[in-house]
Structures are given as C-alpha cells and as structure tokens.
Amino acid sequence: MSEHHDDLPGFCHPVSTKLLFGVFFGLIGLTILTVATSALGSALGMPPAFAFPLAMVIATMKAFLVCAFFMHMYWDKSFNVLAFLSSLLFVTLFIGMTMMDTGENQHTIEAFDINNLANVEVSE
C-alpha cells in the first residue's frame, strides 16, 4: 500500500495502512486497559488515589497516538503543532488559576440554604 509515492506533490503525504491499523489496535488496547484498571483496580490492590492519574495518563497516551498519527502531526509543519499545543497551555492556565480561587467560596455555597437566608455565613 505504499507504492508510487514519487509522483505525488510535496504536500501530499499518505500514511501507510499498516501504521494506521497499528495505531488503531494500540488505541483499542489502551481502552481495554483503562476500563480494566477501573473495573478491577480495587480488586487487584491498586490504591484508590492511583485511579485518576492512571486514567489520565492512559488517556493522554491515546491522545498522543490520535494526534501524532491519525491527525498527521508527526509529519506536520511545526507551526501547526505549536498552535494546537499552545491552546492546551491556555486551558491549563484557565483551569489552574480558577481552581486556585474557587475553593475560597465552597464553604459559603454549602452553607447556603434558600429557605434560611438569615443564617448565611460568609467565610473569612
């Protein structure tokens, strides 16, 4: 499936079917892994604190495979890659700063009871 690629224009770069199927099976494997660790994790003695980071790591590995090979990022112009990755940077910024702040109001929100407004406490 990777024949006659010399007569193709420079910007035309088909990916080999072998690679695409390989990536697909890798993705399936990772999916099964993540469901299995979630369902059987406690039974296998995995500490509960591990579950979320592990799921995120596996998801990121899957994301990398999709981005690099299905989305062709591996061979792409670095500017496009930079644009996409920088968006993730800004998302991180957004989440980070907002999370640093909202713990602040939680107390007040939990104490908020619309039937009993006189008793609203404002945390200092």
Site string for other proteins, 9-38 (x = CB under 8 A): xxxxxxx-x--xx-xx--xx--xx-xx--x
Touching other proteins, residues 36-95 (CB under 8 A) = 38-43, 48, 51-52, 55-56, 58-59, 62-63, 66-67, 69-72, 76-77, 79-80, 83-84, 86-88, 90-91, 93-95
Burial 10-40 (b: 16+ CB within 10 A, else e): eeeeeeeeeeeeebeeebeebeeebeebeee
Token digits of residue 62: 């899957």
Q: Which residues contact 118 (CB under 8 A, 6 or more apart)?
A: none
Size of the site for other proteins (CB under 8 A): 71
- Assess contact for 27 and 66: CB atoms under 8 A: yes
**Which residue lies nearer to other proteins by CB, 13 or 121?**
13
Touching other proteins, residues 104-123 (CB under 8 A) = 104-106, 109-110, 112-115
Distance CA 63, CA 68 (A): 8
Candidates 6, 44, 78, 98: give the one binding other proteins (CB under 8 A): 98
DSSP 8-state class, residue 78: H
**Which residue lies nearer to other proteins by CB, 43 or 118?**
43
Query: Shortest approach of other proteins to residue 77 CB, angstroms?
Result: 8
